Amino acid sequence: MQRAVLILISLAVSNAALADSSRAPATDIWTQSTLLGEWGGLRPRLESAGIAFSLNYTAELLANRHGGIRRGEVVDGLFQPQMDLDLGKLLGWNGDRFRASAVITHGPRFSENYLGNILAASNIEAGSIHRLFELWYEKNTFNDRFSIRAGLMLADAEFLTSETASTFTNNSIGWLAWLAENLPGGGPAYPIPAPGARIRFKPTGETYVQAAVFSGDPTGGNGSNQNGDLPTGTVFSFSGGAFLITELGYTPNQDRTTGGVPGAYKIGAWYHTSSRFGDQRFDETGRSLADPLSSGIPSNHTGNWGIYGVIDQMLYRVPGTEDQGLSAFVRVGGSPDDRNLINFYADGGLAYKGLIPGRPNDKIGVAAAYARISDQARALDRDFQVFANPAYPVRNAEIMVELTYQAKLAPWWTLQASFQNIVRPGGGVLNDDGSIRPNAQVFGLRSAVTF
């Protein structure tokens, strides 16, 4: 049934395209940048005045064919309306920008209900939510050498980013599970933004340094890193301490008309001020959380931190093209193991654009992610062996490998197929029936349309 729904979505889009092509030259619908075109000339007039609208809808079928918690399939979706204002064109305030956007999602939380894993299978799955997504003002001065942005924002929009990694659908290849699991509310990233401010300085055209501060708990909670329910609506949270992040970057050869291939090299660090980072092993009395006499309430730590690095490099460019060829990325990060479930994380991958003749905008890629369970969390598992069950498993790490192919059917339409193999979902834990949670294999089919 759910597979049929996704097929119907794709057919509906295709039928809409064919209907339009009967009223206009057949090439128009497949070459215009959006499905709905120029709105009778209104869209380019608005854009020339500094007002740009975008409407994007993504539908996705995810199927767990083996392993995890249980087999099954779901259809989920994401609708993103967005408005951008160029205030230089609109009001003569050169360098000033404003953005307002929202997210509306549907479908169950696939990874939570079917896989029980850490490296969530989809970067759009969020359950059923409807909220403001971005609401910020940005000012750029000194020929864009200095920039400041403030409002409701997302850390994953500007920090730890990789253009090559954006090819893939696993959520951790976007906002690292290292942060999503360790920070209160998953940190200021999809699907929950947070109030914040960011400054950026570019001393040269190829270097930058940027820093940002965000409200510490985007869910409106008290800054605890223990799992809890996520809000479904808009939250302007100023609770839970503060999340600070800074990044230094070197981005050579970004002008792709030059001879060199583009790259990006980044190092960064973050710090969180919350006093409610729960210990991974001991309760507030110093007993192991596995001890039957334990209160079950983890001891709290004040502050949390991490360091990271990113390499995103084009390895080969097809002669005579700007961006066709082979690119690679690697990202690593680490944090203290007493207050974090994941104390080391790494991912990396390869993507090739235009590999198949006649398909210059298609992409094919392979990526892998590794999330290591911290030593304290492993020690807790060994405590459970002593207090409860000698056969209790000691968690190790979760590993994910994704293969994907993204077909650009039109400037406004992409269809993407993916396969993910998830090794040791949850790091190696038990299902409710007492068996070790088996490796999972996930198939995905995604249709994304820009209206």
CA–CA separation, 173 and 108 (whole Å): 21
Range of the domain at 40: 2-450
- Check residue 10 and give its pLDDT: 43
Spatial distance between the Cα atoms of 97 and 320, rounded to a whole number of angstroms? 34
| Beta-bridge mates of residue 194 | 153
* Nearest in space to 18 (alpha carbons), one of 113, 10, 99: 10
pLDDT tens digit at each of 451 positions of the chain: 444 434 333 433 343 343 333 334 435 788 999 999 999 899 999 999 999 999 999 999 999 999 999 999 999 999 999 999 999 999 999 999 999 999 999 999 999 999 999 999 999 999 999 999 999 999 999 999 999 999 999 999 999 999 999 999 999 999 999 999 999 999 999 999 999 999 999 999 999 999 999 999 999 999 999 877 889 999 998 999 999 999 999 999 988 776 789 999 999 999 999 999 999 999 999 999 999 999 999 999 999 999 999 999 999 999 989 899 999 999 999 999 999 999 999 999 999 999 999 999 999 999 999 999 999 999 999 999 999 999 999 999 999 999 999 999 999 999 999 999 999 999 999 999 999 999 999 999 999 999 9
Token pair recorded at residue 449: 């349309």
Instruction: Tell which residue, 425, 292, 434, 305, has the closest CA to residue 371.
Output: 425
Neighbours of 258 (CB within 10 A): 10
The CATH number for 98's domain is 2.40.160.180
Residue type, position 438, single letter: P
Cα separation, 236 vs 220, in Å, equals 7
Residue in 176, 172, 191 with CA at minimum distance from that of residue 120:
172
* Number of independent structural domains in the chain: 1
pLDDT of residue 226: 86
* Residue 413: strand pairing partners: 410, 449
Please tell me the distance from the alpha carbon of residue 287 to that of residue 401, in angstroms, as a whole number: 38
What's the pLDDT at 229?
Answer: 80
pLDDT for 227: 76
Q: Specify the pLDDT at position 23.
A: 37
Rounded Cα–Cα distance for residues 367 and 329 (Å): 9
Contacts of 295 (CB under 8 A, 6+ apart): 283, 284, 285, 287
In this predicted structure, what is the pLDDT of residue 88?
95
Instruction: Give which of 173, 191, 57, 185 is closest to 121, Cα–Cα.
Output: 173
